[in-house]
Structure 1
Amino acid sequence: MTDKDKLPMTLAIRELQKEGISFTSHLYPYEEKGGTAVSSKALGVPESIVIKTLIMESDDKSPLIVLMHGDMQVSTKQLARELGVKTISPCKPEVADRHSGYQVGGTSPFGTKKKMPVYMEKTILDLERIYINGGKRGYLISLDPHDVVKVLKPQLVQVGIKA
């Protein structure tokens, strides 16, 4: 195993270990702007079970995390309605990096720099296992989605639309 193949020790991994959560690590060749299409293909899994971590903000600039199936988009209008705010929009990459402590493309919902409310598409819980970022570009972890609920205590929402 070369240094390049060593598994990263990120804040996300530390948090999961501290919580006693079982997961499996998966490295893949990261592609700029490749997203879940690239990672799912590299790992040979359906894009719907690769969960993206999106850092968004409400109209008052309060940050929040949305966990969504890789093959779906977030209806920001529907999410804003559910949260009782005027608008929800994606953060600019540099703002997202500041809130999460991770680089866009390697954002994990675990071990974020700033504690933010987490909203999870409720159909993610229908999956047996999910793949989610481990806190570094080119690094996903797989785990039971119910363990995500245990650690992050997300509010379940139904805001996904087919991409």
Structure 2
Amino acid sequence: MSRDKIPVTPALLTLKKNSVVYTPRTYKYVERGGTRVSAMALGVDEHEVIKTLVMEDEQKTPLIILMHGDREVSTKNLARFLGVKAVHPCDPKIAEKHTGYKVGGTSPFGTKKTLPIYMEETIAELPRILINAGSRGFLAEMPPSELIRVLHPIPVKISVGS
């Protein structure tokens, strides 16, 4: 992969600034393809592809959830954990204002605003993860320990699904 195909994003700059050990992985982005498409294109288990979801509570307070690609977030369990009435996905335009990234290219690294980050606890047990690096079709492969070292996410148990 030639260097000129790797976009310079705030996420990538954050990874470099923090000396994160990662491998850039690019694939052909498919609108609404999600983690299934990226996992198939890169030949990895969808469970290792981590979604970066921007959500908000009933007071419109934004937060980031990191979840396995093959799982969904139980917003009820998340709301209970946070001690709020409800949590739901942010409108894509609002999410972009908070993060600086377009939906489908949202990274937890280098967000425009500092948001609390919650991570499904089993992500830490994986040997590697692939997480968005700030552009559609661009993931960073790394050990989860690197993500934890830089972002200090709050572990939660809120997944549903396979």
Q: Aligning the two structures, in what range does the TM-score lie when normalised by the shorter sequence?
A: over 0.9
Structure 1 distance, partners of 2:154, 2:57, is 16
2:54 is equivalent to residue 60 of structure 1: no
Match of 1:119 in 2: 118
Match of 2:26 in 1: 27
Structure 1 distance, partners of 2:151, 2:135, is 19
Match of 1:6 in 2: 5
Structure 2 distance, partners of 1:20, 1:34, is 31
Match of 2:108 in 1: 109
2:72 is equivalent to residue 73 of structure 1: yes
Structure 1: which 5+ runs fail to align?
none
Q: Which amino acid aligns with 1:110?
A: F
Deviation of 1:146 (Å): 1.0
Q: Which amino acid aligns with 2:25?
A: H
How many residue pairs align between the two structures?
162
Deviation of 1:2 (Å): 7.3
Structure 2 distance, partners of 1:86, 1:39, is 34
Match of 1:142 in 2: 141
Query: After the TM superposition, which parts of structure 1 deviate over 2 Å for at least 4 consecutive aligned residues?
Result: none
Structure 2 distance, partners of 1:2, 1:17, is 18
Q: Which amino acid aligns with 1:158?
A: K
Q: Which amino acid aligns with 2:130?
A: Y
Deviation of 1:6 (Å): 1.5
Alpha-carbon displacement from aligned partner over 1:86-143 (angstroms, at most 9, x marks no partner): 1100001111111110000000000000100000000001100000000000101100
Structure 2 distance, partners of 1:36, 1:96, is 18
Deviation of 1:85 (Å): 0.5
Structure 1 distance, partners of 2:139, 2:69, is 13
Match of 2:15 in 1: 16
Report SS of the residue matched to 2:20.
Answer: coil
Structure 2 distance, partners of 1:73, 1:35, is 12
Scaled by the length of structure 1, the TM-score of the pair is: 0.96
Alpha-carbon displacement from aligned partner over 1:55-107 (angstroms, at most 9, x marks no partner): 00011101000000000000000000001011100001111111110000000
Q: CA RMSD in A?
A: 1.3
Match of 1:160 in 2: 159
